[in-house]
Amino acid sequence: MNSDKQPENPSTPGESSSSGRDNGPPPGYMTVGTGSTPEAAARLISMLDQDSGYGGSITDGEAGRWHNNIGEDRPGAPPTPVLPGSSTGSAEQDKQRSHVLQLRYNQNKNALGRAIHGTIDILKGFQEENLKWPAHYPTIPAESKQTSHIRSQSRPGLAHTQSAMGDFQPPRSPDRPRGLRRAGTSLGPDFEAESSAAAEKEQKPEPRLITPQLAHDFSVLKLELRMGGRTQTDLVHSLEKGSIASLLDGQIQQSVRHLYAIKDRIEDTSSKVLVTGDLNAGKSTFCNALLRRKVLPEDQQPCTSIFCEVLDFRENGGVEEVHAVPLGSVYNRHDESTYTVFALKDLEKIVIDNEHFSQCKIYIQDIRSVDESLLNNGVVDIALIDAPGLNADSVKTTAVFARQEEIDVVVFVVSAANHFTESAKNFIFTAAREKAYIFMVVNGFDVIRDQQRCKEMILKQVHGLSPATFKESSELVHFVSSNAIPVNNSPGDDGDDDPSDKGKGKNPEKERDFGDMETSLRRFVLEKRARSKLAPAKTYLLNVLGDVHNLATVNRDVAQSELERVKKELDALEPEFEESKKSRTEAGETVDRLVEDTTSEVYGHTRDTLQNCITKVGEQDLGIEYPGLLSAYQYAEDIKDSMLHEITETVRLCEENARTQAAQGYNGIKNLGILHLGNMHTDIMFRADRMYRRSAHALARQVDIDIELWDFFDVASLWERQEKVAGTGMAVTVAGVVGGRLVGGVGWLDGALGAAKIVGSNNLRRLIIPGLIAGVAIGVSYILASVPKSLPHRLSAKLSTQLAAIDYTHSNAFRISSEVRRALKGPAKEVQIGLQRNVEKLQLKREENDKLRAEASEAKKYFSNLFRTSSELRQNVQRIDLEAAPPAAVSAGL
């Protein structure tokens, strides 16, 4: 049914609004958009002029309060001081004022546009810097609630209003607009859990982590971590700095995307009104009631599964139809491939349980008059968006959450019977980040028996969820029964009686309530358009720039202290580095010298000992008894073996000595290692028992002296000895001489002749035979008797000659000392490598610190700059006055 009600003076429910109407100046307005006609605009303007103005309570002496809250999406003080008696104003005056307001709107819009671009540039720069120098997310040690309160009070921050966050109200800084009011009870559990985590943190403060207290000072770039049932604090505390930085990166990206969306939104001349709420709350019925047409399907069961955007049909060339946008497609009305066209009567098919389309655009003719119509209001193009129920499913709920960001006005439909569900509370909490005011429609009021109690309960909940909305509840919270509003059937509707239509239009009281709600909604959407459209952008910009400013402050300070720390570390590192280079050279040389000294000492000792042994082996008592002539050969063999054994034993002793020397050398090296490198070098491998494991000196095989007959007759040495021995008998002497000569070889005749001369020829003849016999006998027996004395000499001389021939002494000394060198080289090398590594480690540390210093210095410069630019830009945004009234002269009609 078409409402042909004439525009009556719209009244605002509640006393405050009526007092506002009587006493307050008329509200400001502007004309923007393509859908207006001058005539319609003039009518609306005049209607608005007659109206009380938004939020009559402002005139009750509370107007000043708003100026503290600049930047919020809210009803404000009536902007246009109009002279008494000129409340209706002339058409000319209206035009002028409208013109001025439009001009101002454009100025503000452009200023915000510039600020958005500036902020995007800042955020992109921040993102790049975050890659190079992972930004620190502020951290404070866990502290008592009281301390954190003091902190909060000492810095401009966000006001936290819900009781879960503590019951204090920090004073609002005059230079910073009141921040977002968070009303999420969902934060409650986090808070409970965070206290224990904060206690842990007290013991081990982690850098780059956020604490619950400070988390609240962030609005846009807040790291939201609600996953897997773990609390935000638990998660953040378990993250690496890189992860924090990448989370921040994600937030920045999201923020940049949102800024682009905001830009589009403020450039868009139309206004978007999102109608959302819980499943089956009556959203579609409410939209139909607003349109006075049954356009959207209503059902007792959940039915709206996609976004339905209702637009004026003039935007579609005056054709009523539905454009269904397939999933994944981006709608463009001028490109038919981006949508499928349906007739209005087919809407139900598209909307209910649809899996092919993401949204539909419904172009309809608003059958209501310009004065009453929301779509065809003569001021601005309005899109009414019916969203799927919040708790339909998580995907759709998320989509609704995302959608609200591009929306100018949120109308939240709540069932009077069910009140606010958890999803409803979450949604309002999220929406309140940008839109301090949410238009609440409490639907299905007709089914409530104790309506007063219901009102009280709902308002109490609104108070908790959105205090700002609560303060203006007379304008913003409405109790209606949408199904009581008579509606026309859509073209194509068979017109059959719908049981749900029964009783419609039979309850003037409900219709009046609905009418009051509509007037408030029109005011909220149209009159406050400048604010509803631009204020979210301003609020968002202030929030994001505030966050950037906070991060810049923290990071500038962190960079500064990092710079100082690194500088200090570098200063301390320099002497250590120089010292390590010095000890690499000095200790390296000492170690080398130690190896060489030990080696040459072992060489000298081995050579001397062996030499000595070889020389003296013939004189030593080898402990072998002379068994007599018959075993003389065996005796000689034994002596030879014994000598060889003696020498071998000496070699073994030399090896033993070398081991001891090597162990001492090793200890020296190890001590040097400990001295210069600390205890890490105590485990250098050295195994003395592994030295000389091969019997490299199988002497018997190398030296093989043959025992000859002559070895038993060492006449030469006997001769020497005989000369030394005094008192030896003549016969012996003779025998010795004779024997000696005899034995000695060719010159024995000389001896005989000599004897003949002495004795005389006769005597000689008598003596010669027995003498000769005796001489020979004595000589032979003497020689044989002296075998034990002469044989060792003889053998030792032969041995010595042979050993000299094979360079035995040197080669053994060389072998033994080389093994010492080899054994010590390993530990020496390790110490030298350790010394080198030490130098390299310090060098690396120095280079790293140098790099850190450069990065910190760069970061400090960057964040100091960011601190300045973000604060300048923020001031610029703050100066954008969305509340400004048109000049008095214009208002007064000049």
Ligand X SMILES: Nc1nc2c(ncn2[C@@H]2O[C@H](COP(=O)(O)OP(=O)(O)OP(=O)(O)O)[C@@H](O)[C@H]2O)c(=O)[nH]1
Nearer to ligand X, 96 or 280 (CB): 280
User: Residue 834: left (phi > 0), alpha (psi -120 to 50), or beta?
Assistant: alpha
Shortest Cβ distance from residue 290 to ligand X (Å)?
12
Shortest Cβ distance from residue 423 to ligand X (Å)?
12
Shortest Cβ distance from residue 289 to ligand X (Å)?
8
Cβ atoms of 222 and 190 within 8 Å: the answer is no
Shortest Cβ distance from residue 884 to ligand X (Å)?
39
Instruction: Classify residue 51 by its DSSP letter.
Output: S
Nearer to ligand X, 361 or 549 (CB): 361
How far is Cα 179 from Cα 540, in angstroms, rounded to an integer? 10
Cβ atoms of 416 and 449 within 8 Å: the answer is no
Nearer to ligand X, 391 or 832 (CB): 391
Indicate the burial class of 61 (C-beta count within 10 angstroms; 0-12, 13-18, 19 or more): exposed
Nearer to ligand X, 321 or 501 (CB): 501
Nearer to ligand X, 245 or 281 (CB): 281
Cβ atoms of 120 and 260 within 8 Å: the answer is yes
Shortest Cβ distance from residue 278 to ligand X (Å)?
7
Shortest Cβ distance from residue 482 to ligand X (Å)?
4
Nearer to ligand X, 354 or 642 (CB): 354
Cβ neighbours of residue 530 closer than 8 Å, sequence gap 6 or more: 28, 30, 101, 104, 105, 108, 882
Which H or E run includes 383?
strand 382-386
How far is Cα 108 from Cα 97, in angstroms, rounded to an integer? 16
Shortest Cβ distance from residue 403 to ligand X (Å)?
15
Shortest Cβ distance from residue 514 to ligand X (Å)?
9
Nearer to ligand X, 482 or 809 (CB): 482
Which H or E run includes 322?
strand 321-326
Shortest Cβ distance from residue 875 to ligand X (Å)?
44
Shortest Cβ distance from residue 8 to ligand X (Å)?
23
How far is Cα 448 from Cα 284, in angstroms, rounded to an integer? 20
**Exposure pattern of 343-375 as b/e (b: 16+ CB <10 Å)?**
ebeebeebbeebeebbbbbbbbbbbbbbbbbbb
How far is Cα 440 from Cα 476, in angstroms, rounded to an integer? 6
Strand, coil or helix: 340: strand
Nearer to ligand X, 137 or 445 (CB): 445
Which H or E run includes 554?
helix 529-616
CA distances from 383 to 97, 280, 376, 409 (A): 26, 21, 10, 10
Shortest Cβ distance from residue 362 to ligand X (Å)?
14
In SS3 terms, 393-442 reads as: CHHHHHHHHHHHHHCCEEEEEEECCCCCCHHHHHHHHHHCCCCCCCEEEE
**Identity of the amino acid at 189:** P
Nearer to ligand X, 450 or 689 (CB): 450
Nearer to ligand X, 299 or 638 (CB): 299
Chain positions contacting ligand X, by CB under 6 A: 279-285, 298-300, 302-304, 389, 443-444, 446-447, 481-483, 500
